[in-house]
Amino acid sequence: MILEERPDGAGAGEESPRLQGCDSLMQMQCGQLQSRRARIHQQIDKELQMRTGAENLYRATSNNRVRETVALELSYVNSNLQLLKEELEELSGGVDPGQHGSEAVTVPMIPLGLKETKELDWSTPLKELISVHFGEDGASYEAEIRELEALRQAMRTPSRNEAGLELLTAYYNQLCFLDARFLTPARSLGLFFHWYDSLTGVPAQQRALAFEKGSVLFNIGALHTQIGARQNRSCAEGAHRAVEAFQRAAGTFSLLRENFSHAPSPDMSPASLCALEQLMMAQAQECVFEGLSPPASMAPQDCLAQLRLAQEAAQVAAEYRLVHQTMAQPPVHDYMPVSWTALVHVKAEYFRSLAHYHVAMALCDGSPATEGELPTHEQVFLQPPTSCKPQGPVLPQEREERRQLGKAHLKRAILGQEEALRLHALCRVLREVDLLRAVVAQTLQRSLAKYAELDREDDFCETAEAPDIQPKTHQKPEARTPRLSQGKGPDIFHRLGPLSVFSAKNRWRLVGPIHLTRGEGGFGLTLRGDSPVLIAAVIPGSQAAAAGLKEGDYIVSVNGQPCRWWRHAEVVAELKAAGEAGASLQVVSVLPSSRLPTLGDRRPALLGPRGLLSSQREHGCKTPASTWASPRPLLSWSRKAQQGKPGGCSQPRAPVKPALPSSSKCPGWL
């Protein structure tokens, strides 16, 4: 850009007043944004201090009334923290909470807050276990332990997008690897996992790694709800993404409910998870309705389209009525936020009234149905509850009769919208949600305007009762299991070796180094399998037998090179390249297990494909039935058989290699 000389003789390097004004405005906006962030951080610190004090009192007192009061205070603090963090996330993402991305006004959704946790020190128990059981220097795994701790620290504050989901999924998969490698039915890591309840804010802790896994899985579902609530549902693409997110959330809560038991916190109890699953399916159904053609762009004469919208709205209302019934019953009613129950009730009334409004529009503005379309149109209606038999066609063809019936539906729509506004005003929290009130009030104004248009001064006929609307949808949402494989990476502790051998469920002895030379007939052994390679057979009297190698040993080192993850061909090539000088080997001999799982074992374990604990299945044992009930049972994997059930829990596990692979891997004697 060429700077022109100004008449006042000012230097070319000086900025124009217009540019200075733009910079000043930008600096002022940035300053306001920073001030808002600082104020939110101060409020978050204040809430955290209040939560710490309430938590200490909750744990110290044994008075039930005091604990109930403190639990109520914790729920308030938890709710405030969730709102503040959402506001901070919107500011960090460059979205002004007071602005909306589109002119269309949509009903607010219910996002679920994430469970919070405290810092955790993995170093001491993992180093001790690696040294004692695996026979290696635990200090040499400092890098792996730091990587695990960094991953856990990062997943405590995930971003509200797909990257946050991948982060949570990656940590969940590492927990599954830890479960398979380091835990047995008789051994735990000895760590206390602290998590705060998402609904009540009450702290809970357990030694079971399954509690950590279940809490992370819960956060995956909660993050799906936040992603769905943040979508711009005024367009079809945004509504479709919201449907997908809420379906994933429902599938996550269903997976958690079916595979975890003995939850120590209310948000992970079966009753709560069932209610949350129903809520997410209802919100997905609402997004399906919003993804249809907006009524404003629809021709009023399109009778069939209006009737389809009416049935879709009736379907949403039916879903929310079921959710409200579940939330209103104990024990869910005791810890579900009151504002959620009120919002669900408001939505049930609002969408039921919306169904009657669309039917009224179809009757009053739409053209009469032809003889072939009449049965299809009449399927929209249900007979009034007082009538036992249908009295002729439900959908009238005469213009005056259509006006009278449309007026009756508008009357029910107006009554329902007024009831929704009344319920909205009863809840203190909902009174602050101006967007919800604006949506219902806007629809009420449209209904009143249409009713005034249909009303006549000489209309002395009493309006008949409008029948109910038959719920129906063209797209029934289904719960979808979370994509746990998208964040699956390599096992952080893969240096310890393949899980098929090197896990806490097995015992082994390290032998070597053994110097193996080639005789006239070769080494005198045959190898099979991959990662690690198995000594399948040893010829009696051969060089391998003289060196002390035995059938069933696994080769873990060749000439000083670790080969636990080598393939069969790589080990064979290394031995053949040794020549007459021979090779130096290290092997491990798997020892028989010292004890089998007992009936008293209630530790969490990884489920196998048939629902049995993997360690028990290896020993040919059936799943033991518990003979006693702990007063505070651990959260554990459900031991119900999942065989043949679609959408079951798919746990990431390292592939278990069979002891003797197929003979195609056998190259012959070496």
Statement to judge: residues 171 and 268 lie in one domain: yes
Statement to judge: residues 194 and 280 lie in one domain: yes
**Of 514, 636, 633, 630, nearest in space to 575 by CA:** 514
Statement to judge: residues 576 and 662 lie in one domain: yes
First to last CA, the chain: 78
pLDDT at 229 exceeding the cut of 60: yes
Long-range Cβ contact pairs of 127-135 (< 8 A, separation 24 or more): 129/182, 129/189, 129/504, 130/496, 133/504, 134/496, 134/502, 135/510
**Of 192, 198, 191, nearest in space to 215 by CA:** 198
Statement to judge: residues 331 and 182 lie in one domain: no
Amino acid code (one letter) for 371: E
Statement to judge: residues 405 and 459 lie in one domain: yes
Could you write out the DSSP letters of every residue in 196-256? E-TTT--EEEES-HHHHHHHHHHHHHHHHHHHHHTS-TTSHHHHHHHHHHHHHHHHHHHHH
DSSP 187: B
- Per-residue pLDDT, averaged over 546-562, amounts to 84
Task: Please state which of the ranges 165-169, 454-458, 498-502 shows the lowest mean pLDDT.
Answer: 454-458
Please write the tens of the pLDDT for every residue from 601-646.
Answer: 333 333 333 332 333 333 333 333 333 333 333 444 443 434 444 4
Statement to judge: residues 470 and 530 lie in one domain: no
- Per-residue pLDDT, averaged over 397-413, amounts to 83
Please write the tens of the pLDDT for every residue from 341-366.
Answer: 999 999 999 999 999 998 888 888 76
Single residue among 241, 275, 291 that ends a domain in this structure: 291
Q: Tell the residue number behind the tokens 């206390």, with chain if given.
A: 192
pLDDT of residue 96: 41
Number of domains in the chain: 4
Statement to judge: residues 276 and 313 lie in one domain: no
pLDDT of residue 470: 87
- Per-residue pLDDT, averaged over 496-511, amounts to 84
Any domain includes 612: no
CATH no. for residue 259?
A: 1.25.40.280
pTM for this prediction = 0.74
Any domain includes 14: no
Domain membership of residue 61 as a residue range: 34-92
Statement to judge: residues 524 and 663 lie in one domain: yes
